[in-house]
Amino acid sequence: METIISIKPLMAVLVSLLVIPALISSSDKPNVRESWIFVAGTINLLLILSMLPVILAGKQIALTLFEFAPGAAIAFRVDGLGMLFAIVAASLYIVTSIYSIGYMRGLNEHGQTRFVSFFALAISATIGAAFSANLLTLYLFYEILSLATYPLVAHHQDEKSRISGRRYLTFILGTSIALVLPAMIYCYHVTGTLEFSTAGIFADQLSKPAATVLLLMFVFGFAKAGIMPFHTWLPAAMVAPTPVSALLHAVAVVKVGVFSIVRVMTGIFGVDLLADFNLGVVVMSIASVTILTASCIALSQDELKRRLAYSTISQLSYIIFGVALLSPQGQLGGVIHIAMHAFGKITLFFCAGAIFVATGKKYISQMSGLGKKMPFTFAAFFVGALGVIGLPPTGGFYSKWNLILGTLEAEQTIFMLVLLVSSFLNAFYFLPIVYKGFFGKSEEENEGTPVKIQEANLCLVIPLIITAIISIVLFFYPTVFVNLIKVGLGI
Amino acid sequence: MDNYPVLIVVAPLLAALFSGLAVWIEERLSYPIALTGLAISVFSAFNVLLQVITSGPIQYRMAGWAPPMGIEYRIDLLNAMVLLLVSSIGFLNLVASYKSVKQEIYDRAPSFYIVYLLFMTGLLGVTATGDLFNLYVLIEITSLTSYAMVALGDRDRGPLASLNYVFIGVIGASFYLLGVGYLYMQTGSLNMADVAHILQSHQESSIVLTAFILCIIGLWIKMAFFPMHVWLPNAYSYSPVAFARVVAPLMTKVMVYVMIRLMITVFGLDYIFKSPFLADAVVWLASIAIIFGAVMALAQKNLKKMLAYIIVCEIGYMVGGAWMGNQLGMTGAILHILNDALMTFAMFLAVGNIVYKLKDVELFNLTGLFGKMPWTMAGFVLAAFSIIGVPPTCGFFSKWYLILGAFEKGAYHFAAALVISSLICAVLFFRVFEICFFPPISEDSGHKKSHSPVVMAEAPVSMLIVSGLVSLSLIVVGLYSGTIVNTIIIPFLK
């Protein structure tokens, strides 16, 4: 495979980092500060997109920064998977920044400069994780991301956010130090390298029990992926302001976790080794448990953001499930769900935030009849929900379709049932919200006051319409993402 | 210049003398003289390091007397690195000390600088010398000056902590001296290279074994290796901040250096690892030290005490790595001398800034500190990440080698101890961050959004610059640890 040496991946990582001093220095001029974010976000996206044609042509872009031992370096390598993830994160960052302005100013939040600075740092780390050439670099950005998001989760600086922040770090930082770190060093001890390669790095140095233990250490250790029982940080993290929940806890942070697991399965172990040891089924079973349990818990949540959080936990496991199928179709369906779920779920979170800013309502039981007041928001919510359930005409359908085909291809019919049951559950916990929103009656209506359209401010509504539209567009044109995955996984 | 090796040690010694004399003329002269002395030291150490890297070890004979009769300074890659480290930290700390000495020991500032210079002379001498008895003398110089310094600190509890330190320090020194005596009995020489040469024909001698054990125990006491650590927490936390900042990162690390020097240069690794039992026992003890230090740190309510116990824990890292009996472990131990010195220094610099503003560092007093002292806290956070071992800070990379070494030996308990201590460090530092990040819980906490604007109250610029510089060096050294390992540590171990 042809490799091009270029500084672009480094620049894409640095651009969000270097803008932080500018953000801090313009902290008393909010408009200047916000324009910096857009400048950096746009440059970031353009840099990433400029690499797209090269990647689609089947080449890779690489850059080694520091090699501290043979086979262990801090290095970037852009391939199809990383590209896919980076495009999703960088484009949604811009949309979220618009939303963030509306949300943070709408609620007159404190510490906005701190908020946007750590947000930028988190994006920088996410792009870094996407472009990592080896496990060490991935681990580095994974840790930076954990630490950068702590001040965002604990943003409100009250008792509730203190407890949530603690839980957040305990699970995310604790598992990465206790499980991933020793597993990673053990891999290096056995093979002398940590470089991702489609064939895997182990020749035949691992026995089946050792491989199983190692794989489980990675799967549970990357707790950002929300595999049960290490998932409880995600609902707790919902105390953060909604832009954080939307971009970081539906897209960037959680998907760095999933992405790491995908990388370890495809780049460290390699599909062949997993198939030989029959480890795909093990991971699939773990993912299935999470998919079903989280969906059931989601049904019982009344707070909208918590319901979305449990839905995210279940959807993340779809991705891992798909990759663990070890069949081309399944892997395609799994990985493309990174993008499809991102656009759907961020729309839902945007809606939840818009509802909160416009009406102050957080609980689903308070939301009947709200669709008449906020028709755009609820329409977008409907589209987002369709995307997550996996119904046409949204991108989510494409990933579900491929996942189900994947189960047939891998002859795992029982696991197909998991997908079907979960889709039903998804429909059960999302569609009633939309139905009641449009057709239910609010208290005011019962009292006989006429209903007027009262949407949230434009900064909140435009982003959620954009992401909803992209969700639909992806149903018709998933080609770019599909090609990226095919190039990335060599299928 | 051929005299650089001795200049490193003599410059601070002369500076101590001159700044003592200068006090009669003008008290304010003592500070610039001290600064100059250490600057010369840093400069010479830098040149020596370059020279050693390009053209191999340097042997310097004091006054031209040939060893084994005369005292020889022998500088190879290992102590060239440690010399540069020690002198730079000594110099940078002096830059940061001007304000804090003025505030803390206002009435005895010149005596502080003189004792400080003598302390640095001792440490640099210990690192440079190639003579076993000279080493003892210089260890005593460092110890005696530290006793004085500790007593200068907290006016109530300082003297008692110092007395405790004197008793244990003297015992440690006696052990070492006794060991050197036994060695002399067997070999009739005190020059390290000479002793090493003679020892090759005395491998089975029980006198040599006794000498070895006595020396190592003496050094363990001096470096506060568990369970011989009891003097350290009080001595370090009650000494003046300007001194704590330098003794915490350097004293124990230089003693680890001496241990490694004895192991590699004098007794030889083959001799030490001949019976696997001894090495295994030491690695187990190191694992216990790590866990013990971390747990004790968790139990502290005072920031300085907490950091003191972290030093006890980190000593376990280095002793364990050195006794691992493979190259990876030794690489980790040596790299950790550098990294731990830097991160402890960065940590104590931040603490020094906080003490300068707040006077005491009980944990509950630190609320809202991120708003008040953002730069100091940025340095604190970086140092903490390095101690936890978050990449790309340097702490991660030495931990990497140590764990790899443990895997190679099959000492999984040591790897587990490292991981557990990282976890505990994460807990205890995030506990501090949490206190500093959240504002004090006020009476009217019912109003959620009533955050009063925080007024910035930072430490003086001189202290901030040093602390910022050292904290950034944690990342730089981390990123270049590959270069350090390849140009200094691996050639040294070959």
pLDDT in tens, A153-202: 888 888 888 888 888 888 999 999 999 999 999 999 998 889 888 888 88
Output the CA–CA distances (angstroms, integers) from residue B6 to B75, B124, B134, B191, in the order listed: 10, 10, 14, 17
CA angle B171, B175, B178 (to 5 degrees): 130
Three-class HEC string of chain B: CCCHHHHHHHHHHHHHHHHHHHHHHCHHHHHHHHHHHHHHHHHHHHHHHHHHHHHCCEEEEHHHCCCCCCCEEEECHHHHHHHHHHHHHHHHHHHHHHHHHHHHCHHHHHHHHHHHHHHHHHHHHHHHECEHHHHHHHHHHHHHHHHHHHHHCCCCCHHHHHHHHHHHHHHHHHHHHHHHHHHHHHHCCCEHHHHHHHHCCCCCCHHHHHHHHHHHHHHHHHHCCCCCCCCHHHHHHHCCHHHHHHHHHHHHHHHHHHHHHHHHHHHCHHHHCCCHHHHHHHHHHHHHHHHHHHHHHHCCCEHHHHHHHHHHHHHHHHHHHHCCCCHHHHHHHHHHHHHHHHHHHHHHHHHHHHHHHHCCCEHHHHCCHHHHCHHHHHHHHHHHHHHHCCCCCHHHHHHHHHHHHHHHHCCHHHHHHHHHHHHHHHHHHHHHHHHHHCCCCCCCCCCCCCCCCCCCCCCCHHHHHHHHHHHHHHHHHHHCHHHHHHHHHHHHHC
Q: What is the pLDDT of residue B50?
A: 92
Measured CA distances, A16 to A246, A265, B448 (Å):
19, 29, 31
Question: Between B423, B448, B485, which is nearest A177 by CB?
Answer: B423
- pLDDT at residue B275, rounded to an integer: 81
Chain length of chain B: 494
Q: What is the largest CA-CA distance in chain B?
A: 80
pLDDT, mean of residues B375-386: 91
- The residue type of B484 is I
Query: Could you give the 3-state DSSP secondary structure of residue A328?
Result: helix
Domain that includes residue A352, residue range: 278-491
3-state SS, residue A392:
coil
Across residues B177-199, what is the average pLDDT? 90
pLDDT digits (tens, 9 = 90+) for B418-463: 999 999 999 999 888 888 887 765 544 444 444 555 677 788 888 8
Q: What pLDDT shows up at residue B447?
A: 43
- The pTM is what? 0.92
- List CB contacts (< 8 A) between A165 and chain B: 434
Query: Smallest Cβ distance to B437: which of A66, A151, A181?
Result: A151
Query: Could you tell me if B385 lies within 8 Å of chain A, comparing CB atoms?
Result: yes
pLDDT score at A270: 87
Q: Kindly list the residues from chain A whose CB atom is less than 8 angstroms away from the CB atom of residue B369.
A: none
Closest chain B C-alpha to A158 CA, distance in angstroms: 7
Contacts of A244 (CB under 8 A, 6+ apart): A119, A149, A152, A153, A155, A237
- Number of domains present in the structure of chain A: 1
Minimum Cα–Cα distance from A139: chain B residue: B391
* Residue A165 at interface with chain B, using a CB cutoff of 8 Å: yes
Buried b (16+ CB within 10 A) or exposed e, B289-313: bbbbbbebbeebeebbbbbbbbbbb
B438 to chain A: which residues are within 8 Å by CB? 154, 157, 162
* Whole-angstrom distance, CA of residue A173 vs CA of residue B426: 8
The beta-carbon neighbor of B439 closest among A67, A140, A157 is A157
B414 in A contact zone (CB under 8 Å):
no
B239 and B153 Cβ atoms separated by less than 8 Å: yes
Interface membership of B390 toward A (CB under 8 Å):
yes
Question: Minimum mean pLDDT among A156-160, A180-184, B69-73, B198-202: which range?
Answer: A156-160
The mean pLDDT value for B381-394 works out to 91
* CA–CA distance, A475 with A479 (Å, rounded to integer): 10
Minimal Cβ distance to A66: which of B388, B423, B482: B482
Running DSSP on this structure, what letter comes out for residue A451?
A: P
Instruction: Identify the bridge partners of residue A61 per DSSP, sorted by sequence position.
Output: A4, A78
Share of chain B above pLDDT 70, in %: 97
Higher pLDDT, A281 or B361: A281
- The residues pairing with A4 across neighbouring beta strands, listed in sequence order, are A61
Q: At residue B72, what is the residue type?
A: E
Positions of chain A with pLDDT under 70: 445, 448, 450
B328 phi and psi angles, rounded to 5 deg: -60, -45
Question: Which tens digit of pLDDT belongs to each residue from B32-42?
Answer: 899 999 999 99
Asked whether the beta carbons of residue A67 and residue B482 sit closer than 8 angstroms, the reply is yes
- Per-residue confidence (pLDDT) for residue B450, from 0 to 100: 46
User: What pLDDT shows up at residue A328?
Assistant: 87
Better-scored residue on pLDDT, A446 or B262? B262
Which residues does chain B have within 8 Å of residue A177's beta carbon, measured at their own beta carbons? 388-389, 419, 422-423, 426
Between helix B412-437 and helix B276-298 the angle, nearest 10°, is 20
ipTM: 0.89
What's the pLDDT at B494? 83
The mean per-residue pLDDT over the stretch B213-221 comes to 93
Chain-centroid distance, C-alpha B271:
27
A69 in B contact zone (CB under 8 Å):
yes
Residue at A43 is within a domain: no
- Render the burial of B137-163: b for 16+ CB within 10 Å, e for the rest: ebbbbbbbbbbbbbbbbbeeebbebbe
Q: Please name the residue that has the structure tokens 């800013």.
A: A357
d(C-alpha B221, C-alpha B218), whole Å: 5
Q: Which two tokens stand for residue B112?
A: 């502080």
What pLDDT is recorded for position B290?
A: 94
Search chain B and give the residue with CA nearest A69: B482
Q: Do A108 and B449 touch (CB under 8 A)?
A: yes
> Looking at the domain assignment, is residue A201 inside a domain?
no
Using left for φ > 0, alpha for ψ between -120 and 50, and beta otherwise, residue B11 falls in: alpha
The long-range contacts involving B400-403, CB below 8 angstroms and separated by at least 24 positions, are: B400/A69, B400/A72, B400/A185, B400/B332, B401/B321, B401/B328, B401/B329, B401/B331, B401/B332, B401/B335, B401/B485, B402/B317, B402/B320, B402/B321, B402/B324, B402/B328, B402/B329, B402/B332, B402/B333, B402/B336, B403/A181, B403/A182, B403/A185, B403/B332
Whether residue A196 lies inside any domain: the answer is no
Find the mean pLDDT for residues B282-303.
92
Task: Name which of A356, A368, A363 is nearest A434 in CA terms.
Answer: A368
What number of C-beta contacts closer than 8 Å exist between A and B?
81
Sign of CA pseudo-dihedral B416, A70, A261, A43: positive
Which residues from A are below 8 Å from B397, CB to CB? 68
Taking Cα atoms as reference points, which of A49, A241, A82 lies closest to residue A149?
A241
How many residues does the structure list for chain A?
491
Do A65 and B479 make contact, defined as CB atoms within 8 angstroms? yes
Distance separating alpha carbons of residues B244 and B230, to the nearest angstrom: 17
